[in-house]
Structure 1
Amino acid sequence: MDELPIGRRVAYWRKRRKLSQQVFADRLGKSKSWVDKVERGVRRLDKFSVVHEIADVLQLDAQILLGNGSERRPENLNGVDQVEVEEIRAALERYDQITAFFYAPPEPPPLSELRKAVTHAWLSYQHASYGMLARTLPRLLREAQAADIAYSDGPHAREVAHLLGQVYQISSAMLRKLGEHELSRIAADRSVLVSQRTGDEMLAGVAKTRVAMALLSLGRARPALEMTLNVANRLAPGTNGGDSSPERLSVFGNLLLQASLTAARMGDSATVRDLLGSAQEAATALAGDHNHYRTSFGPTNVQLYRAAAAFELGEGRAAVQVHERLDLDGFNALLPERRAQHYLTQARARALIGDIDAAGEMLLEADRLAPSEIRCRPFAHEVLSDLLRRTRGTPSAALAELAAHLSVGV
């Protein structure tokens, strides 16, 4: 879109925001005729102050309107529009806390609306609705940031910081799915900083898990493992007066699971066994699968990580055997994102042992359950491409159709 005149970009974003020319003009304090002339290129936008006013109304970064390379890939990015990724990037790069010293901060949404929006964002993520989430995250980031400034000195300061910390966590989790690992790490770092203001050590613990996951995706397994184990030791039930509440057990267990996956990536099978054993103990004490702090922690999730760790250790058959012994009731009760991620792991495990047909079926099962988990993830595309390359003869009609839809070749 960089090659388009700025007026055309304004028109494009106005329509994406579902604003009529009249409504857009009213919000700018201009006439409809002025907007029409700008969009047709009859009137030039030669003042940066006006461009920034337009960007604020359209809720996007001014650099996108100016066309300064912010849309590097205007094509659809693996099921999620690259423009939306750049909007998330722009929202993460805002420093409204500093700007507020010089200008009036943006008007924050009512707290009740912000709570609902954060809950909806979590649901979108855990149901693998990444396209919908990508469209809503930029605005949610801006609104949560504005609320954090507006309520910083009042009685709701900690609650708003808690909500903002969650929004950063959601951003980090989804960006990692999209292969934006460095941006995922930045969002996770922001979550840690904000979470420390809430007084909620469980929230901070989960935020540090997000940092560790981003580091692992960036190939930095050693610091990821050290961070995760350090936080897990501090949050262990009974340590430093810590209780054994379901919330603590869930966060502690989730940290152990992430650490086990990291240790497996490093080839440390002994550490993997120890960590999975401790996680199993926490899950047994928790008695059932729960979603405290959005961890989806419990006995079933321990088994899914056991399979994932086995695959990372190169033990594909062991990973398949874990799947075959799963408690189906517990597995089917998990949220779609968690189950689809497991099917993707199983596809890789079956490919590892040479069962390409079964690998394809696992990938298709993930796509049927949560399409975005396959269609929005560059990593899943790589798995699909590998399966196509290793398939003898013609792939199944369903797998070929999926590959054609995603433009994935051998």
Structure 2
Amino acid sequence: MDELPIGRRVAYWRGRRKMSQQVFADRLGKSKSWVDKVERGVRRLDKFSVVYEIADVLQVDVQLLLGKDVERRPETQNCIDQVEVEEIRAALERYDQMSAFFQAVPHSPPLTEMRKAVSHAWLTYQHAKYGVLARTLPKLLRDAQAADSAHASTPEAKDAAHLLGQVYQIASSALRKVGEHELSWLAADRSIAVSQRAGDQLLAGLASYRVGSALLALGRVRPALEVNVNIANRLAPSREPAQGDRLSVYGMLLLNGAMAAARIGDSATVRDLLCGAEQASFELGGDYNHYWTSFGPTNVQLHRCATAVELGDGRTAVEAHEKIDQVGFHALLPERRAHHFLDIARGYTQIGNIEKASEMLLEGDRLAPSEIRCRPLAHEVLSDVLRRTRGTPPAPIAELAEQMGVGV
């Protein structure tokens, strides 16, 4: 895209942000006609101040608009930037690497090395190190695609497909966190097909969970509810004691379905799905990380809070939060706990307790900064907190807002 005129780059990023020309013009304080002329190259952008303002509205680095290489962030900053998103996109676009029909069987790392790399990527995600993960994902995607193609006709074919299915799911989860929902859906959808070749029903079930999450993020709520509930019904344990991994995937599908039902205000379905997930967690007998789900009684408690927030019932969410088993909660991985703090911050704003909402944001930031600083949802919650704070915001919140680029 570097060779495109700046107007075309503006149009590209406006489209990526799903803004109409009118909305974009309103945010810039310009006319729709002005935007149209800029994007068609009829009007030149010859003032840096205007270019910087456009970059700010589009939430991209100004160097991307100018067609120059972006100065990469230092390793200490841990968000996924636009350059890294484009590199992940490029890896997903390499259709020639996905099949030996189109090129010679590529060289790929040994599967033993791939297993270690995939396991490390899962842990990196669950510790909310999104920037670190983003810098490894493009190569991991290419390596996993190459391994899947190279082993297509070998006894290791299912193992290679299983690893690729996992990598697609990691990519889907990370992309959803930073608002790249269409890409998240694409990666999750691919994982379903690859999981079938891997011969693993539970991996395919978990891929369906990722599809449901992406659809929910895209506002496709009823399809999200249907895919989670339908696949959960197919994985429902029989009368015999079920294995932990099956219970975990089944339970997570129910929890995700409950989140979708809450989004459309269907409290009865929310209640039924949460009860089903709770029963599965009791059968499981504790909190585990089977298939990287972090499923168990504590995660069910967290989803009781989250669904209450989605239903607009902040008081119920806060009351459920205060009853959470603290031993189980502190045993969960950082991403899950910080995500919960963000949910409860939303709950506190719903009941007007801005001080406690601020505390929850700060707790989440101390635990897993990327879960708060990198997510568009967290930016929205912090903006709401600042808007409703009387007088000068407390210093810690003001500092967090400055670091996140949220106006005080």
TM tier relative to shorter chain = 0.7 to 0.9
Answer yes or no: is 1:208 the counterpart of 2:230. no
Cross-structure match for 2:311 = 313
Check the 8 A contact 1:74/1:83 in 2, yes or no. Answer: no
- Whole-Å separation in 1 of the counterparts to 2:323 and 2:309: 16
Cross-structure match for 1:60 = none
Check the 8 A contact 1:261/1:312 in 2, yes or no. Answer: yes
- Whole-Å separation in 2 of the counterparts to 1:271 and 1:330: 26
- Whole-Å separation in 1 of the counterparts to 2:395 and 2:125: 30
Deviation at 1:81, TM superposition (A): 2.3
- Whole-Å separation in 1 of the counterparts to 2:351 and 2:173: 30
Deviation at 1:341, TM superposition (A): 0.2
- Whole-Å separation in 2 of the counterparts to 1:74 and 1:222: 41
**Once superposed, what is the RMSD of the aligned Cα atoms?**
2.3
Helix, strand or coil at the partner of 1:197: helix
- Whole-Å separation in 2 of the counterparts to 1:185 and 1:279: 24
Check the 8 A contact 1:208/1:228 in 2, yes or no. Answer: yes
Answer yes or no: is 1:384 the counterpart of 2:382. yes
Match of 1:286 among 284, 287, 293: 284
Letter in 2 for 1:404: E
Letter in 1 for 2:110: P
Query: In the superposition, relative to structure 1, how do residues 158 and 343 fare at CA in structure 2: closer, same or farther (>3 Å)?
Result: same
Query: In the superposition, relative to structure 1, how do residues 103 and 69 fare at CA in structure 2: closer, same or farther (>3 Å)?
Result: farther
- Whole-Å separation in 2 of the counterparts to 1:161 and 1:146: 10
Check the 8 A contact 2:96/2:102 in 1, yes or no. Answer: no
Helix, strand or coil at the partner of 1:226: helix
- Whole-Å separation in 2 of the counterparts to 1:290 and 1:131: 26
Identity %, equivalent residues: 66
Cα distance per residue 1:358-399 (max 9 Å; x no partner): 100000000000000011112211111111111111111111
Deviation at 1:69, TM superposition (A): 9.6
Helix, strand or coil at the partner of 1:80: coil
Deviation at 1:237, TM superposition (A): 0.3
Deviation at 1:243, TM superposition (A): 6.0
Check the 8 A contact 1:283/1:297 in 2, yes or no. Answer: yes
Structure 2 residues not aligned, in runs of 5+: 5-63
Cross-structure match for 1:339 = 337
Letter in 1 for 2:165: G
Cross-structure match for 2:87 = 87
Cross-structure match for 2:54 = none
- Whole-Å separation in 2 of the counterparts to 1:171 and 1:109: 19
Cross-structure match for 2:145 = 145
Deviation at 1:209, TM superposition (A): 0.4
Letter in 1 for 2:299: N
- Whole-Å separation in 2 of the counterparts to 1:169 and 1:112: 19
Cα distance per residue 1:219-271 (max 9 Å; x no partner): 000011111111000000018xx861111111111111000111001100011
Structure 1 residues not aligned, in runs of 5+: 5-66
Helix, strand or coil at the partner of 1:196: helix
Check the 8 A contact 1:96/1:105 in 2, yes or no. Answer: no
Cα distance per residue 1:103-158 (max 9 Å; x no partner): 32331011111000000000000000001000000000000000000001101000
Answer yes or no: is 1:365 the counterpart of 2:371. no
Cross-structure match for 2:253 = 255
Deviates more, 1:129-138 or 1:243-252: 243-252
Answer yes or no: is 1:101 the counterpart of 2:74. no
Letter in 2 for 1:325: K
Query: In the superposition, relative to structure 1, how do residues 146 and 219 fare at CA in structure 2: closer, same or farther (>3 Å)?
Result: same
Cross-structure match for 2:354 = 356
Deviation at 1:177, TM superposition (A): 0.1
State the TM-score, normalizing by the size of structure 1: 0.81
Letter in 1 for 2:255: L
Cross-structure match for 1:221 = 221
State the TM-score, normalizing by the size of structure 2: 0.81
Cross-structure match for 2:171 = 171
Letter in 1 for 2:353: D
